[in-house]
Structure 1
Amino acid sequence: MAQTILHLGLRPATLMLLQKQLPSPGAEFVALAAIDQVLPPGEVLLLGEELDAPIRLAQEAYALDKRLSILLLTEASRYEKTRQALQFSPFIGPTVQCNSTAVGARLAPIIVDAMQRTAQRRSFAQLKSFALSAPQFEPQVVAKIRADFSTKVLEEAPIGAVLVSTTGTILSINQYAINLFGRPEAEVVGAALPDLFPAALSEEVQRFLREEHLREPKRIVALTDTAGTRYLEISVTPIDAQQALAYKLVMLNNITATMVAQQQTQADLTVVKRLNVDLDNFIYTASHDLKQPIANIEGLLLALQHELPAEVRQTDQVATMLTLMQGAVDRFKKTINDLTDVSRLQQANEQPAQSVDVAQVIREVEEDLAALLREAQGEIVVTVPPGTTIVAFSEKNLRSVVYNLLSNAIKYRAPDRALCIRVTYQPVAGQGQLCVQDNGLGLDERQRSRLFGLFQRLHTHVEGSGLGLYMVKKIVENAGGTIAVESALGEGSTFTVWLPG
């Protein structure tokens, strides 16, 4: 039977990769337009890279189905920040995880494992609802308990399930768990569960079953043998029956594929971080090392202009050549300055977060842009609810974000209508939502896809380097936030920034 993969906000390339790695009829992909009041039936929900606020959507989905596995798939540059933000986000449980799309095809086993975990949680819920009445635990009906336990529930569970006494003696065990230990059922039933583990782990498992599970819900142990290393996740719950307090249900889950994928993901991210550091160092070194040579060239050009006789400098051919040479030098100097700005991004990322008043930052930037706004004959309308504007962010970086968005709205205004910029801020689900809306030139679909790229200039009638929005996006994402744009050519654009609470 096909398993249903719900997804929202996946990039087309990511979706195509997953459809190739998880083909039908084994997996059926169902696209969602939004998180509604009722989720369609499914085994996993994927929240993709194109979403403005994936954590908020994960909170909404978790509230609807606490047993459904939810995976946030992010770009490598946003993975660490999103993962950290997820750890401290309220109203989210362990069913919500974050993964990087940088692992490529290795996403497939992670998603398969997530679907299995959904099935396990739902089966476990059935296990807990399987009422064991007091008379069933009388000595004369223990055999019946074991039979009912195995045939009605355990054998159907896609997870290891073991019924043990307070001493850890195995009373019943399903086939999944038997396969994990690789021993005949006759050797397992009646034995102490910790004794089935290697000697180096036996005492640890015993302590976990006896008392440590009360303060630590799950324990992961590594079993190493000639076949390699396997990872088992152990959890314990008492049986829900008045007379069954002496009995515990131990769940065993083989999470080897997930652990290996996570280890590989971490290794890949380490490589990506090292490459980013190397790239930052290269840009910094190149931008500084090139300054002196281009200064020398410009000096030689000025010396040449000074030495040439006036009548030679003024000839059409020589004047044109000198102008072209000076233009080339100026463009080279501008490129070097742009590279220097990119290298400063690394320093911006290291700015400490602090409590910042968004409303105050908006007011200060509005004052700085007052002259440009008067020249453009435009207005800025700010709507900010009082007492709700404190966020954890670098004040310098937040100022850069607001300044770039507002100054762009002024620069790229439409010539045939009065400029109006609307700025709103409101707290939403533990995050801050900052919107900057204008009625300017707007963008078509092709332009929108290039908007946040490095050195991307979409309009040439005004001065610009193509760095502003690239830097805004990096600053926001490195702080754990997101930025998105909605735009229509000839109508205007709306930038939405989600700031960490």
Structure 2
Amino acid sequence: MSPNLNPEDIYSQFINQVTDYAIFATDNDGIITFWNEGAHRLKGYTEDEIIGQFFGVLFTEEDRERGLPEEELRVAREKGVYEGEGPRRKKDGSLFHAKVSLTAIYGPDGKQLGFTKVTGDITKKKQLEEEITRRNEDLIQQKAELEKTNIDLDNFIYTASHDLKAPIANIEGLIEMLKQDLTNKKLLDDSSTILLQHVSISVERFKKTIMDLTEVSKLQKDFKESQKKETIQVEAVYEEVMADSGFMFYESPCEVTTDFKVKEIVFSRKNFRSILYNLLSNSFKYQSPSRPCKIAVKTYEEGDHVLLCVKDNGLGLSDKNLTHLYTMFKRFHDHVEGTGIGLYIVKRIVENEGGRIEVVTKENDGTEFKIYFKKEEVTLPV
């Protein structure tokens, strides 16, 4: 130890070199007796300006009026330390958010000598916390508004689809009556027959649209009621879809290959079947007229997901059309029947269960859909 420095000098030098925190000392009445360089930098007062003043000068006027400086001294005397957060005032009048610790100091004889106070500026931390809180509140409000919008939309869809069924049935009946009347009066010529056929086809399309609207509403209702998950045999569902949907006897048959590396998946069977049906249906419908149709269906693991991939060599989509791919009732090819609702339903099912859907496509060069299911443990039968 240098002969020119005693322990008190070393302590004083150490405290003064701490510049990120305001450290000062007071006597038992809260009169400031020591002031480090960090206190000067944080609060703006020099040592000569502040020593001898009551430490309450560092508080806001509101906190002084409600007796907070005296309360801090009281708690520190009784409990040994006071800790808290709140606004503090600088010399120039500006405020910062502080984290403070006021500690009672005792001599060797146990008699209290005064207090030391350490103050840190946590303004940026507080602002960040407030911003996070504000954003969370905004997200909660947006979520609530979105849920309300979805409920309103579902109610509208249900009401519209339900209320339109009766008029459509009446129109069908009137068409049949008109056809019978024209036949009885021998007025049903080739032109009238064609017109009635067109009307009937339009009515059938309208009925299909209503059915799809009902399916969308039911999809949301099923999600809210939490579809029961089970262990699905992927190949069995695939064969069921191919047989029941008539894909094996499609007017333009496709060469379909399968590679089920993952043979079982935990999911709602009804929803998995719907996903597979819609993806296969698209591949069959939108095959290219310039080459033999080929479709590849496979499953495999990738990280925390199980993937279902359906790849074809069909018409594909342009970059422009990709942005509207999952839009309800949006269609990009008019030469086949459909309402354009299938991919919307697939996306809703997958995302409702925490998965995602990706697509790789190029116009006139085929399409590959990848469905990411969250990997879950396969439940074995008891």
DSSP-derived class of the 2:18 partner: helix
DSSP-derived class of the 1:313 partner: coil
Matches within 5 A, 1:106-125: none
Quote the offset at 1:455 in angstroms: 0.8
The 8 Å contact of residues 287 and 313 in structure 2, kept in 1 or not, is answered as: yes
Given the alignment of the two structures, is residue 148 of structure 1 paired with residue 20 of structure 2, yes or no? no
Question: Structure 2: how far apart are the matches of 1:356 and 1:493?
Answer: 29
Given the alignment of the two structures, is residue 424 of structure 1 paired with residue 299 of structure 2, yes or no? yes
Alpha carbons of structure 1 residues 174 and 315: separation in structure 2 relative to 1, 3 Å: farther
- Letter matched to residue 258 of structure 2: V
DSSP-derived class of the 1:489 partner: coil
Alpha carbons of structure 1 residues 349 and 316: separation in structure 2 relative to 1, 3 Å: same
| Aligned length, in residue pairs | 313
Question: Structure 2: how far apart are the matches of 1:414 and 1:250?
Answer: 70
Given the alignment of the two structures, is residue 379 of structure 1 paired with residue 256 of structure 2, yes or no? yes
- Letter matched to residue 147 of structure 1: N
Quote the offset at 1:349 in angstroms: 1.7
Question: Structure 1: how far apart are the matches of 2:24 and 2:299?
Answer: 58
TM normalised by structure 2 equals 0.65
- Letter matched to residue 342 of structure 1: V
Question: Structure 2: how far apart are the matches of 1:366 and 1:199?
Answer: 79
Alpha carbons of structure 1 residues 324 and 402: separation in structure 2 relative to 1, 3 Å: closer
Quote the offset at 1:477 in angstroms: 1.4
Alpha carbons of structure 1 residues 145 and 444: separation in structure 2 relative to 1, 3 Å: same
Question: Structure 2: how far apart are the matches of 1:353 and 1:176?
Answer: 62
Give a deviation string over 1:205-256, Cα, whole Å, max 9, x none.
Answer: x9xxx9xx9xxxxx9x999xxxxxxxx89899xxxxxxxxxx9997732232
Question: Structure 1: how far apart are the matches of 2:345 and 2:39?
Answer: 56
Question: Structure 2: how far apart are the matches of 1:257 and 1:272?
Answer: 22
Question: Structure 1: how far apart are the matches of 2:367 and 2:201?
Answer: 34
Question: Structure 1: how far apart are the matches of 2:23 and 2:9?
Answer: 18
- Letter matched to residue 326 of structure 2: F
Alpha carbons of structure 1 residues 163 and 222: separation in structure 2 relative to 1, 3 Å: closer
Quote the offset at 1:402 in angstroms: 2.5
Structure-1 residue corresponding to 2:333: 459
DSSP-derived class of the 2:172 partner: helix
Question: Structure 2: how far apart are the matches of 1:316 and 1:338?
Answer: 33
Quote the offset at 1:267 in angstroms: 1.5
DSSP-derived class of the 2:301 partner: strand
Aligned residue among 343, 364, 368 for 2:241: 368
Gaps of 5+ in 1: 1-137, 155-160, 214-218, 224-231, 237-246
DSSP-derived class of the 1:457 partner: coil
Alpha carbons of structure 1 residues 413 and 317: separation in structure 2 relative to 1, 3 Å: closer
Alpha carbons of structure 1 residues 268 and 303: separation in structure 2 relative to 1, 3 Å: same
The 8 Å contact of residues 254 and 284 in structure 2, kept in 1 or not, is answered as: no
Give a deviation string over 1:91-119, Cα, whole Å, max 9, x none.
Answer: xxxxxxxxxxxxxxxxxxxxxxxxxxxxx
- Letter matched to residue 238 of structure 2: V
Question: Structure 2: how far apart are the matches of 1:366 and 1:235?
Answer: 70
Give a deviation string over 1:444-484, Cα, whole Å, max 9, x none.
Answer: 11222222110122223333221110001111112222212
Question: Structure 2: how far apart are the matches of 1:341 and 1:363?
Answer: 24
Question: Structure 2: how far apart are the matches of 1:407 and 1:495?
Answer: 12
- Letter matched to residue 143 of structure 1: S
TM normalised by structure 1 equals 0.51
Structure-2 residue corresponding to 1:21: none
The 8 Å contact of residues 17 and 37 in structure 2, kept in 1 or not, is answered as: no
Question: Structure 1: how far apart are the matches of 2:215 and 2:100?
Answer: 51
Alpha carbons of structure 1 residues 353 and 294: separation in structure 2 relative to 1, 3 Å: closer
- Letter matched to residue 141 of structure 1: I
The 8 Å contact of residues 373 and 410 in structure 1, kept in 2 or not, is answered as: no
The 8 Å contact of residues 315 and 365 in structure 2, kept in 1 or not, is answered as: yes
Alpha carbons of structure 1 residues 185 and 435: separation in structure 2 relative to 1, 3 Å: farther
Structure-2 residue corresponding to 1:297: 171
Quote the offset at 1:149 in angstroms: 2.5
The 8 Å contact of residues 422 and 436 in structure 1, kept in 2 or not, is answered as: yes
Structure-2 residue corresponding to 1:134: none
Structure-2 residue corresponding to 1:91: none
Given the alignment of the two structures, is residue 481 of structure 1 paired with residue 350 of structure 2, yes or no? no
Question: Structure 1: how far apart are the matches of 2:334 and 2:142?
Answer: 39
Give a deviation string over 1:357-395, Cα, whole Å, max 9, x none.
Answer: 46x234422343155246524122214257xx655x433
Question: Structure 2: how far apart are the matches of 1:405 and 1:450?
Answer: 17
Structure-1 residue corresponding to 2:149: 275
Structure-2 residue corresponding to 1:346: 220
Alpha carbons of structure 1 residues 464 and 318: separation in structure 2 relative to 1, 3 Å: closer
Quote the offset at 1:173 in angstroms: 6.3
Question: Structure 1: how far apart are the matches of 2:24 and 2:249?
Answer: 78
The 8 Å contact of residues 163 and 250 in structure 1, kept in 2 or not, is answered as: no
Question: Structure 1: how far apart are the matches of 2:238 and 2:67?
Answer: 66
DSSP-derived class of the 2:180 partner: helix
Aligned residue among 189, 192, 197 for 1:315: 189
Alpha carbons of structure 1 residues 175 and 492: separation in structure 2 relative to 1, 3 Å: farther
The 8 Å contact of residues 173 and 189 in structure 1, kept in 2 or not, is answered as: no
The 8 Å contact of residues 254 and 295 in structure 2, kept in 1 or not, is answered as: no
Give the alignment's Cα RMSD to 1 decimal.
4.6
Given the alignment of the two structures, is residue 254 of structure 1 paired with residue 126 of structure 2, yes or no? yes
The 8 Å contact of residues 297 and 311 in structure 2, kept in 1 or not, is answered as: yes
The 8 Å contact of residues 435 and 494 in structure 1, kept in 2 or not, is answered as: yes
The 8 Å contact of residues 455 and 467 in structure 1, kept in 2 or not, is answered as: yes
